[in-house]
Amino acid sequence: MSVSPLLLYFDDESDSAHRLAQAARLSCQAIERHRFPDGEIKLRLPEPLPERIVLFRSLAQPNEKLIELMLAVSGARGQGVSHITLVAPYLAYMRQDMAFTPGEVISQLSVGKFLAGLFDALITVDPHLHRVSTLQQAVPVKQAITLSGAPLLADLIAEKRPGAILVGPDEESAQWIAQAAKRHGSEQAVCRKVRLGDRQVTIALPEQSFQDRAVVLLDDVASSGHTLAQAGRLLLAAGAKSVDVAVTHALFAGDAIQIIQEAGIQQIWSTDCIAHPSNAISMAPALASALGQLNIPS
């Protein structure tokens, strides 16, 4: 009889990992971590490990975490682990998917190959894929499953703001807007965005009436907050009764929350793919279901 996989996690993601373990009915244990004065990291894995493990690591603030993954997988393989699944609710470095200027490194390609060299399977949520059609093209593991937070965000919006118009802050958000709007037959619209830099964008609203309507800006990721803030100001100027924000990945770097709130946006809702005070939806049941769909050799 095959033994169930063990879920491994790092202590800074204990709550999320335990929610997943409970939903998937898996045992879970923390990876011990020590930092030397020079910044190097030492890990200690539980012993013994089963032949199959699940490693939980959401890759916001990813640089150090990628080193952690490399060390953890090396140690696990050294203990004889034959199959390792990475559950990364947020998958970093997917946005840099082409060279926009000569000599620019395509980070998606580099990090994707790095992860594929470590793991046998990958489960993630709303990866930022726009110039490739599948997750496996970006991360060529044997098995890859992509989930979306849009349907669950749509359920929350239907409860909190019934009848709201769902608006995407830019063209790239159209796929999530379509998913969410279909869920409850919501009215939808998508803005046009021109990015002038990391913190400089211009937004144009679609030709549509927002007068006296509740509006929810919905997107896969919120980082600097400038795009959402600018869209929110324009919507309120166009007569919107209220503007709220719903996102899958709550990066919210620096003063992003303040910028969004100062624009007149009321509520901010997110999934727990990245731990944040705005978390309103747990992805644990969906992630657990995805783990059950993996075809893992016994």
Task: Count other C-beta atoms under 10 Å from residue 168's C-beta.
Answer: 26
Residue with token string 């594929």? 116
Residue with token string 């209220």? 242
Query: Directed axis angle between helix 174-184 and helix 150-160, to 10°?
Result: 50
Residue 62: left if φ>0, alpha if ψ -120 to 50, beta else—which one? alpha
Give the separation between CA 275 and CA 279, rounded to whole angstroms: 7
> Residue 263 corresponds to which tokens in the numbers above?
């624009």
Q: Cα dist. 236→85, 159, 212, 240, 262 in Å?
A: 45, 22, 9, 5, 12
Give the separation between CA 117 and CA 109, rounded to whole angstroms: 12
Task: Indicate if 193 belongs to the active site.
Answer: yes
> Residue 16 corresponds to which tokens in the numbers above?
């999320």
> Residue 298 corresponds to which tokens in the numbers above?
């016994």
- Cβ density class 110-126: b for 16+ within 10 Å, e for less: ebbeebbebbbbbbbbb
Q: Is the dihedral of CA 83, 87, 93, 96 positive or negative?
A: positive
Q: Are 201 and 194 in contact (CB under 8 A)?
A: yes
For residue 3, the 8-state DSSP code is: P
For residue 173, the 8-state DSSP code is: G
Catalytic residue among 65, 160, 182, 193: 193
Task: Count other C-beta atoms under 10 Å from residue 298's C-beta.
Answer: 8
> So which residues are the catalytic ones?
193
